[in-house]
Amino acid sequence: MGLIKTLIDVAFEVYIVLIIANVFLTLLRINPYQPVVRFIYEITEPVLGFFKKIIPPIGVLDISPLVAILALQVLQFLTDSILVAISEMLG
C-alpha cells in the first residue's frame, strides 16, 4: 500500500508543479504554441478552467490557480487518509 500512496502523492505534486508552471508561463507570456508550453496548458486546463468558472478574477488578479492548488492538496490529504485507513483494515 505504501507504493500506491507514494505514486498518488507524486502524481499530485507533479500536477501542482504543472499548475505553478502554467502561472509563470502566463505571466512571462511565453509562446503558447511551443510543444512543452502547450502540453502544460492542455494538462492543467481542465482543473484551472473549472475553478476559473467558479471564481471570478479580483481586478487583474486571478486567484483560481491558488484555489485549485489548495483543493488538490485537500484531495491529496483525503486520498492519503483513505489509503491509510484501508491499509489498517487489511492488516
pLDDT block averages, 10 residues each, the chain of length 91:
89 98 92 94 96 92 95 97 91 70
CA distance linking residue 17 with residue 32, whole number of Å? 18
The model's pTM: 0.89
Cell of 32: 503558447
CA distance linking residue 28 with residue 69, whole number of Å? 20
pLDDT value at residue 90: 87
pLDDT value at residue 2: 81
pLDDT value at residue 78: 97
